[in-house]
């Protein structure tokens, strides 16, 4: 696959840098009950929807797909039919999400200047959402998809009693993609690995080294497929987007 570098982006009025996308699909799907990457939503699998969104985004130059280490060859063959043109490598993941992310970034093109990490289970992501986060990362070196909290948020003590009310104007729900300047993310990821630090998302790795991450409001529809009932919720969102069921 040929990657063209330094394309001119008229919207940003700068020479656009290359972006490698790492799609993380190496989880065990324990809460779903079966391999959720194969679950169908309006006739398309969860994995296919995520891959297609990144393949359709003009700012993404290549895709690295990370699959489970266990039964890797069998799963690799099973997903061949849904791999779009920008998929450059399909690699084995690690024991944890954090390890799988490192497996993915090590397969990225060495000249890619930004890395976008995305959980395949967030299969309702759109090319516009991806582009918005990429553009924010261009300006800030680190950015993440998110949405503002609309409910009242309470902080509770260890026994479940309200301690205080959180100012919801400063509370966000963070999702993926999360996009980072490549060397920033590598430094954060490898430092965390060496220190034995485990994070629940990639932003935590950057935060730990003192880097600020810009939040990009992509709205509440960028849901994660975790339980089987999430399929119906996803189909309802797609119905409102105008996709026929």
Tens of pLDDT, residue by residue over 60-113, are: 999 999 999 999 999 999 999 999 999 999 999 999 999 999 999 999 999 999
Q: In terms of residue numbers, what domain contains 208?
A: 15-241
The answer to whether residue 89 is domain-embedded is yes
Q: Give the integer Cα–Cα distance in Å for 133 and 93.
A: 24
In a domain, 8, yes or no: no
Assign residue 57 the CATH number of its domain.
Answer: 3.90.550.10
Residue 83 inside a domain? The answer is yes
Q: What are the backbone angles phi and psi of residue 214, rounded to the nearest 5°?
A: -80, 130
Residue-wise burial string across 107-118, b where 16 or more C-beta atoms lie within 10 A, e elsewhere: bbbeebbbbbbb
Residue 87 lies in a domain: yes
Taking only the tens place, the pLDDT of each residue in 179-197 is 999 999 999 999 999 999 9
- pTM above threshold 0.95: no
Q: How many domains does the chain have?
A: 1
Ordered DSSP codes for 88-132: EEEEE--SSHHHHHHHHHTTS-TT--EEEEEETT-TT--HHHHHH
6 assigned to some structural domain: no
């Amino acid at each position: 696959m040929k990657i063209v570098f330094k394309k001119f982006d008229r919207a940003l009025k700068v020479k656009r840098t290359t972006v490698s996308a790492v799609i993380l699909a190496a989880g065990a799907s324990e809460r779903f009950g079966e391999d959720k990457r194969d679950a169908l939503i309006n006739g398309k699998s969860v994995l296919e929807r995520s891959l297609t969104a990144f393949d359709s985004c003009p700012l993404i130059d290549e895709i690295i797909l990370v699959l489970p280490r266990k039964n890797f060859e069998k799963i690799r063959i099973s997903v061949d039919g849904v791999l779009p043109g920008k998929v450059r490598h399909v690699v084995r993941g690690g024991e944890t999400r954090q390890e799988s992310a490192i497996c993915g970034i090590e397969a990225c093109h060495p000249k890619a200047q930004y890395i976008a990490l995305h959980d395949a289970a967030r299969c309702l992501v759109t090319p516009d959402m991806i582009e918005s986060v990429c553009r924010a990362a261009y300006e800030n070196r680190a950015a993440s998809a998110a949405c503002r909290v609309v409910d009242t948020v309470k902080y509770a003590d260890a026994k479940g009693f309200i301690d205080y009310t959180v100012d919801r104007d400063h509370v966000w729900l963070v999702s993926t993609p999360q996009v980072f300047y490549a060397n920033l993310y590598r430094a954060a990821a490898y430092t965390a690995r060496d220190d034995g630090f485990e994070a629940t998302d990639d932003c935590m790795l950057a935060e730990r080294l003192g880097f600020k991450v810009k939040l990009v409001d992509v709205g509440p529809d960028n849901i994660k497929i975790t339980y089987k009932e999430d399929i119906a919720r996803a189909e309802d969102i797609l119905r409102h987007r105008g996709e026929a069921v």
